[in-house]
Structure 1
Amino acid sequence: MDQILVRGNGPLNGDIAIAGAKNACLALMPATLLTDQPLTLTNAPRLSDIRTMTQLLQSLGSEVASLQDGQVLALSSHAMSSHRADYDIVRKMRASILVLGPMLARDGHAIVSLPGGCAIGARPVDLHLRALEQMGASLELLDGYVHAKAPSGGLRGAVVDFPLVSVGATENALMAATLARGTTVLNNAAREPEIVDLARCLRAMGAQIDGEGTSSITIQGVDALHGATHPVVTDRIELGTYMLAPVMCGGEVTCLGGRIELLESFCEKLDEAGVSVTESERGLTVSRQNGAVKAVNVRTEPFPGFPTDLQAQIMAMLCLADGVSELEETIFENRFMHAPELARMGARIDVHGGHARVTGVERLKGAPVMATDLRASVSLILAGLAAEGETVVSRVYHLDRGYEKVVRKLRGIGADIERIREPAHE
C-alpha cells in the first residue's frame, strides 16, 4: 500500500492549477442517464471517484470515453442495458445514489444499492427517497437495495420541502424533476456552487430551471432532454486546500482558476487570520511572509457558510496559529478523527463531541500518521509540509478519491514530497 513522505523545507512559491470539481463532476456524470444524446464534460478531474462513477455508468449500459488525458469525458446513454446499480460498485462511493433519480425519471424504474464512502457519519439517503416519493415514486427497500418505480405516465411535479439541507438529495431531485410532468419546487434546497453547475448543465440540455444558488429551485418538466457540452466548475475544496499551503509554510502561491465567490466564507476566515488573498484573472494569490497567523473560530455550515470539507485543513493551519481557536462541526459527526493524528505531530487539540479547541504551537514535528478519510489525509500532508523533519502519511488511498496529482502539484511549488511503497512486514 502506498504512503506519502513529506519533509518540511520552508516557504512555497509558484503556481498550482486547480482541477475541475470532484463533487460537481460526480453529479454531472449521471445526467447522461436523462437523455439518449451525447453529453460531453470538459475540465473533468482525474480521480478514482470519477473512475468509480464511470464503472457504474458503464454497468448500466452507458458509454463513457476518457479523452485528452482524462480531462474530457464523452458520455452517451442511448442504449441502456440495465437499471440495477450493484453493491459491488455503489459501496465504494456515496455519490452513486445519484443514478437513482435520472433512471427513474427517464425510464420509470431503477434498483440501486444503498451507498458507501468515507466513514465520517451516517449521511442517510432518506431525504433522496422522500423527495422522489413526493414526485409519485413507489419505493421499497429489499436486501440493501432501493427498488423504485414511477407511476404510469412518469414522475409528476411536486413541492418538496427538505427538512435539512442536503446537496445530494437536491441533486437527485433536481435531475428527476427535469423530466417530471408539471412543476417541481425544491424548498430548503442546497445552494452550493456544485448545484449551480448541475443546473447550468441541465439547462444546456434543455431543462427549464430557475432559482439555483438560492434556497428555492423551480423546475418545469419537459418531455425530453438533448445533448450538450459543459465545463466542470473549479474545485473549491482543492482550491481552499492549496491556498493553505503557503499560509502554513510561508511564501506566495497562485491557485490558477480560483475565484473568491467559490469560497467567500473561507476567504473571510483567512483575512481574519491575517492572510493576504488577492484575486486576478489568473486566479487567487495567497501569501504569508512573516509571523504566525492569528487564531480564528470556525463553524461549518451549508453553503454559503464555511465548508465542512475544509474543516480538517484549516484545523491543521490553526495548529500553528497565535492563540486559541474553536472549531464546531455541524454537518457530519465523527469528523475530527484527524485530531489525534495531528496531536502525534505536536498539535494541542481538545475534542468534545462536535467541538474542538486548538491551542497554537510554535512548531510541529514530523511523525508517522494515518489518514482516516479524504480531507483528513490532505490535512496531514499540509501539516507535514510545515513540520520539522519527516512525516509519513499512511492510508493515502483516500487521497486519490479527491486530489489529482497531489505530489506533482506540490512539488511544482517547491515542496519536498514523494509517494512511496509501505515497507513489507515480516
Structure 2
Amino acid sequence: MDSILVKGGSALSGEIEIAGAKNAALTLMPVTLLSDEPLTLTNSPRLSDIKTMSALLKSLGTEVSSMQDGKTIVLSSHGLNSTHADYEIVRKMRASNLVLGPLLAREGHATVSLPGGCAIGARPMDIHITALEAMGAEIELKDGYLHAKTNGGLKGNLVPLRFASVGATENVLMAATLAKGTTVIENAAREPEIVDLARCLKAMGAQIEGEGTSRIEIQGVDRLHGATHRVVTDRIELGTYMLAPVIAGGEVECLGGKLELVQSFVEKLDASGVSVEETARGLKVKLNGDRPKAVDVVTEVFPGFPTDLQAQMMAMLCFADGTSVLEEKIFENRFMHAPELMRMGAKIDVHGGTATVTGVETLKGAPVMATDLRASVSLILAGLAAEGETLVNRVYHLDRGYERVEEKLGAVGAKIERIKGE
C-alpha cells in the first residue's frame, strides 16, 4: 500500500485548483440510468471512487468513456442489460446505492447489494427504503441484497424524510422524475450537491422546483433526454485546502472556490482569526497571527458545519491557542483520527460524540494510520506543521476523495511525497 511522507515546517504560497465535487459526480453518474440518450459530465474529479462507479454502471450495461484529460465522462445507458448491482462492486463505496432509485424508475425492478464505504458509523438504508415504498415500491432485504420491484411503475406521493438524508433525497429525486404524478419530498437535504443534481436533471427535461430548500416538488415526465452538465466545485476539497495555509503558514488561493459553498465553515475560520478573501478566481486564505484561536464546532446537516470537514478542522485546532470542543452529530464513529493525532503529541479527549482539543504550539512527526477518507487528509494537514517527518500509512482511503494531493500541496511549497507500496 502507498504511504504519504510529509516533512513539516514549510510555509505555503501559491494557487491550488479545486476539483469537481466527488459527492456530486457520484450522484450525477447514475442519472444516466434514467435515459437512453448520452449524458456528458465535465469537471469530474479523477478519483478511484469515480472508477468504482464506472465499473458498477458498466456491469449494468452502461457505456462509459473518459476524455483524455480525465475530467470529462460520457455515459450512455441505451442498452441496459442488468438491474443487479453486485456486492463485489457495491461494497467498495457507499454511493453505489444511488442506482436503486433510477433502476426502479426506468426498469421497475432492481437488486442492489447493501453498500460499503468508510467505517465512520452506521448509515442505514431504511430512510431510502421507506421513501421509495411511499412511491409504490416493494422492497425486501434478503441475503445482503435489496430486492425491489414496482407494480406498474413508481407513483408520485408525499415523501417525508425522518432525517434530511442526502442519499435518500438523491435517490427519491432521481426516481421521482419518471414517476407518475407529483412527488413532494419534505425535510429534503439542502446540500449544494442536491442542487447540482436537480440542475442536471432539469437540463435533461425533468420538472423540479424547490431544490436547495427542505421541500422539493417533482412532476414526473415520460422520458428524459441527454445533456451536458458541469460538476459543481468540491466544497470539501475546498475547505481542506483552505486549512493548509492556516496550519502550515503562508497564503494560498483556492481556485474555483465560492463562499456560498462553505459559509458555515468560513464563519468558524473567521472566529479563529483566519482571513478569507473572495477573489475573481476563488478564495484567498491566510492566518492573521502566529496561531489560530480556539473555536467550538458542531457538525450539522447543510447549511451547518459539514461532518466531512470535522477531521480537518480538528487538525487545525490541535495548533490553536486555547481549548476547543467538537461535537459530531452526524456519524457516531468519526473520531478515529484522534488517537493518530495524539501519537503526534496532540491533546485530545474524546467522550462519545464530543472531542475536547487543547491546542499545543507544535506537534512532532510520527508514523500514523489513515482510518478513513477525511482522517487521511487531516493527518497530512497536521504533518505540514509538525516537527520532523510524518508518515501517513494506508492512504488508499485518500485516493477515493482527493486527486493528486501530493502534487497540489507540493506545488505551493509543501515538502510531501508519495511512497509507492509493493
1-side partners of 2:9 and 2:347: how far apart?
22
Aligned with 2:397: secondary structure? Answer: helix
Task: Give the TM-score, by structure 2 length.
Answer: 0.99
Contact 1:251–1:289 (CA under 8 A) maintained in structure 2:
no
Aligned with 1:146: secondary structure? Answer: strand
Q: Which residue does 1:54 correspond to in 2?
A: 54
Listed one character per residue, the Cα deviations across residues 284-337 of structure 1 (whole Å, up to 9, x for unaligned) are 000125311100000000000000000000000000000000000000011000
Listed one character per residue, the Cα deviations across residues 349-393 of structure 1 (whole Å, up to 9, x for unaligned) are 000000000000010110000000000000000000110100000
1-side partners of 2:381 and 2:85: how far apart?
37
Q: Which residue does 1:327 correspond to in 2?
A: 326
Q: Which residue does 1:45 correspond to in 2?
A: 45
Aligned with 1:74: secondary structure? Answer: strand
2-side partners of 1:69 and 1:52: how far apart?
18
Segments ≥4 residues shifted beyond 2 Å:
none
Q: Which residue does 2:19 correspond to in 1?
A: 19
Task: Give the TM-score, by structure 1 length.
Answer: 0.98
Consecutive unaligned residues in structure 1, runs of 5 or more? none
Contact 1:250–1:289 (CA under 8 A) maintained in structure 2:
no
Letter in 1 for 2:9: N
Q: CA deviation at 1:69?
A: 2.1
Listed one character per residue, the Cα deviations across residues 261-303 of structure 1 (whole Å, up to 9, x for unaligned) are 0000000000000000000110000012531110000000000
Consecutive unaligned residues in structure 2, runs of 5 or more? none
1-side partners of 2:47 and 2:151: how far apart?
37
Q: Which residue does 1:129 correspond to in 2?
A: 129
Q: CA deviation at 1:80?
A: 0.3
Listed one character per residue, the Cα deviations across residues 197-251 of structure 1 (whole Å, up to 9, x for unaligned) are 0000000000000000000000000000000000000000000000000000110
Q: Which residue does 1:215 correspond to in 2?
A: 214
Q: Which residue does 2:285 correspond to in 1?
A: 286
2-side partners of 1:68 and 1:168: how far apart?
30
1-side partners of 2:324 and 2:361: how far apart?
15
Aligned with 2:205: secondary structure? Answer: coil
Contact 1:250–1:290 (CA under 8 A) maintained in structure 2:
no
Q: Which residue does 1:167 correspond to in 2?
A: 166
Q: Which residue does 1:3 correspond to in 2?
A: 3
Contact 2:273–2:289 (CA under 8 A) maintained in structure 1:
no
Q: Which residue does 1:231 correspond to in 2?
A: 230
Letter in 1 for 2:124: P
2-side partners of 1:335 and 1:226: how far apart?
40
Q: Which residue does 1:150 correspond to in 2?
A: 150
Listed one character per residue, the Cα deviations across residues 56-101 of structure 1 (whole Å, up to 9, x for unaligned) are 0000000000113210000000000111000000000010000000
Aligned with 2:146: secondary structure? Answer: strand
Letter in 2 for 1:409: K
Contact 1:308–1:331 (CA under 8 A) maintained in structure 2:
yes
Contact 1:265–1:304 (CA under 8 A) maintained in structure 2:
yes
Letter in 1 for 2:290: G
1-side partners of 2:288 and 2:383: how far apart?
19
Q: CA deviation at 1:10?
A: 2.2
Q: Which residue does 2:388 correspond to in 1?
A: 389
Q: CA deviation at 1:421?
A: 3.1
Q: Which residue does 1:380 correspond to in 2?
A: 379
Q: Which residue does 2:297 correspond to in 1?
A: 298
When structure 1 is superposed on structure 2, of 236-245 and 288-297 the one drifting more is 288-297
Letter in 1 for 2:127: L
2:309 is aligned with 1:310: yes
2-side partners of 1:355 and 1:9: how far apart?
30
Q: CA deviation at 1:107?
A: 1.1
Letter in 2 for 1:125: M
Aligned length: 422
Aligned with 1:364: secondary structure? Answer: coil
Q: Which residue does 1:113 correspond to in 2?
A: 113
Letter in 2 for 1:243: M
1-side partners of 2:100 and 2:117: how far apart?
17
Q: Which residue does 2:198 correspond to in 1?
A: 199
